[in-house]
Chains A and B, each alone.
Chain A
């Protein structure tokens, strides 16, 4: 018996993580500094840094699993209840519900 490889399916989150690893971190990089100095080729070689993609993407794709999501304040959305966790001020942390201004 032989194990068959799964062809990457984009609905599968795990495969999307595999893809992001490959496409963002590997493949040929045109390094702006190196190429400009060696061959005078004008370039923009900006990789899609994780900061640009946004922290939500990082968390969703499991790139950052250590960050405590609650500590990072999520930007409030209009008309939605915003839950904010108070930084420890003595007795543990309390959850505070605050309605955003419409």
Chain B
């Protein structure tokens, strides 16, 4: 509903916490969905708006992981709501807080910032309309792949079979050679997969950003970690991933839709 925050929502506050930027001309009230259930509302200025809640001028920080988790989830919930309500939103990073200053109130500063960024943000929002971010992570069962390669490649298979047939001392030497050759083979296989998958996925989406690989607790190893930007009704990526995950030893994690955090740079 179009409305403004009440005095109760803003009393004792000297700052605003900024969640995202969107196209809108109206004063909207999004409800008490913000961090610590604060009332979330929009600050419009010349076609753009910031989605905010009023707060004290200090960052949200805590030693309690549950508190942090709650805030981060609330931040995401607000950005997601805005993205759905306004068709596109430019998410802010966590803890972007603008405070009252000598030259004017926080709201005044925010409007100035929107005015300064208007063309840039407008263009980006247009580009993002109807799109969302999706996470794609490809894993493999490294051990299973080594065994499969050893079975398939004559050089490796022969070493393995020879080692089984020989007495301890010689077997040990052969196994060392096998391990070295297997390492080279698996490196090569990893590179082939990464290049192929990146290319196949890249063809399906508007943008693909390479992210850092993460260590995984299970027996799997992460091969590829991508953030992808694409239209929400795009099915090409899903089809490509289905093919990829059919490969022996390969598994895929596909998450989304996310607001496009990874596709808005520092402003």
Binary flags per residue of B75-101, CB closer than 8 Å to A gives 1, else 0: 110000000000000111111111111
Q: Are B112 and A39 in contact (CB under 8 A)?
A: yes
Q: Are B94 and A19 in contact (CB under 8 A)?
A: no
Quick check: is B69 within 8 A (CB to CB) of the other chain?
yes
Q: Are B73 and A19 in contact (CB under 8 A)?
A: yes
A48 to B75, CA, bound (A): 13
Q: Are B63 and A54 in contact (CB under 8 A)?
A: yes
Q: Are A27 and B91 in contact (CB under 8 A)?
A: yes
- With A27-B264, A31-B266, A42-B98 already in contact, the answer to whether A4 and B76 are too (CB < 8 A) is no
Q: Are B257 and A28 in contact (CB under 8 A)?
A: no
Kindly list 11 other residue pairs between chains A and B, CB separation below 8 angstroms, not including A27-B94, A53-B63, A57-B68.
A20-B72, A21-B211, A23-B94, A26-B261, A26-B262, A28-B267, A30-B92, A47-B93, A48-B95, A54-B68, A62-B215
Q: Are A54 and B65 in contact (CB under 8 A)?
A: yes
Which residues of A (1-20) have their CB < 8 Å from a CB of B?
1-8, 10, 14-20
Main secondary structure of the interface of B (DSSP, over half): mixed
A-B pairs, top 3 by smallest CB distance, nearest first, are: A42-B101, A2-B238, A27-B93
Quick check: is A65 within 8 A (CB to CB) of the other chain?
yes
Quick check: is B189 within 8 A (CB to CB) of the other chain?
no
CB closest chain-A residue, reference B21:
A28
A10 to B75, CA, bound (A): 13
Q: Are A46 and B65 in contact (CB under 8 A)?
A: no
A-B contact count (CB 8 A): 162
Q: Are B255 and A6 in contact (CB under 8 A)?
A: yes
Q: Taking beta carbons and an 8 Å cutoff, which residues of B are in contact with A?
A: 15, 18, 21, 57-65, 68-69, 72-73, 75-76, 90-103, 109, 112-113, 116, 134-135, 211, 214-215, 217, 235, 238-239, 241-242, 245, 252-258, 261-262, 264-267
Q: Nearest Cβ distance between residue B97 and chain A, in whole angstroms?
A: 5
Q: Nearest Cβ distance between residue A47 and chain B, in whole angstroms?
A: 6
Binary flags per residue of A23-56, CB closer than 8 Å to B gives 1, else 0: 1111111110001000111111111100011101
Q: Are B241 and A3 in contact (CB under 8 A)?
A: yes
Q: Are A65 and B73 in contact (CB under 8 A)?
A: no
Q: Are A26 and B96 in contact (CB under 8 A)?
A: no
Quick check: is A22 within 8 A (CB to CB) of the other chain?
yes
User: B266 — which chain A residues lie within 8 A by C-beta?
Assistant: 28-29, 31
Q: Are B93 and A26 in contact (CB under 8 A)?
A: yes
Q: Nearest Cβ distance between residue A26 and chain B, in whole angstroms?
A: 4
A20 to B63, CA, bound (A): 16
Q: Are A28 and B96 in contact (CB under 8 A)?
A: yes
Q: Are B264 and A26 in contact (CB under 8 A)?
A: yes
